[in-house]
Amino acid sequence: MFKITKQSKKSQARTGVLKTAHGSVQTPFFMPIATKGAVKSLTSDDIRRLKAQIILSNTYHQLLRPGLEVLKKAKGLHKFMDWDKPMLTDSGGFQVFSLTKIRKILPNGVKFRSHIDGREFLLTPKKALEIQKVIGSDIRMVLDVCPSYGCSKKESQSAVDLTTKWAKESKKFKSKDRSLLFAIVQGSTSKDLRLKSAKELVDLNFDGYAIGGLAVGEPGKEMLNVLDYTVPALPKDRPRYLMGLGFPEQIVEAVKRGIDMFDCVIPTREARHGRIYSFRYPDRAYSRVEGSRGKLYDAVSITNAKFAKDFSPINPSSKVRELKMYTKAYLHHLFKTQEPVSIRLASLNNVEFYLELMQRLRVAVKKGEV
């Protein structure tokens, strides 16, 4: 299932291969987010052109729309959205727990009302996996409790206890297909609770382990501190997934600490606001994020007046024809005139940047640079 191909001697970074029902994925990797069955403003063909290895979708949103009946008739989300490569689905826990006014945590699951039409649902550990089976995802997450940053120790303890309880129940319902089942370590920023959660979940022997409840408002140094003591508590022979992260420099630091899998809304969310990512050193396999040579990347607002007459390509080294053909001045014009294609071009650029970042990191680990 998971094989480490290179272990860095400079850090805890490693490369590996994760085998799934829809193919193998090279780690570390980034998953573009197709929460509702599409990466925002992009088609599945676009994502293939960008060389994405795997995407992420969401159980909660797929349950509400298009719904299980449609997904069954479509024979799963892969066929529905024309995606033939691996897919991971979150259990929906984070979305449900973020809707504090319309949900209630119970011992056996979460009762919530749809934010769309008010329909009531009960999401249990078994139900979460049943939905993911209908979706047909390759990697499925167990239902967990994700407390907010700054919560009390008591609340965090309760979240850990319920997460372990639901993880035990989830093991009973693991599908007989070739899907992989991941558990999620909780515990907020409490070292003893994080280690308790990790031990309890590792004892249950899951296919992989995610670290949840980070990148939810805590200071960056505190997040890295949690990784410093949590990652070593996870099995070396299983993939490690840091959920919801993050900015490029955060990903680099997490890879150095042994994280293999990432997802984040930043590439497409920033694109919708005209923020464009690019490498400062496009000819380098890897560049330091900090140090005498400066940051690894630039992130600029294309709506800034200085780009109105910048006729250089959006990305001259891109593998995507549109990004090499169209200029920054043209993209500036598209955003200023609110043409929808502006978001598409910016999203192509940013998703490609994130995927190339992971490729650079894989090369860097293999070369002993990280």
Query: 313: burial class by Cβ within 10 Å (0-12, 13-18, 19+)?
Result: middle
Catalytic residue check, 228: no
Write down the catalytic residue from 46, 90, 144, 207: 90
Told to judge if 263 belongs to the known catalytic residues of this protein, a careful annotator would answer yes
Of 46, 138, 260, 263, which is the active-site residue?
A: 263
Catalytic residues: 90, 263
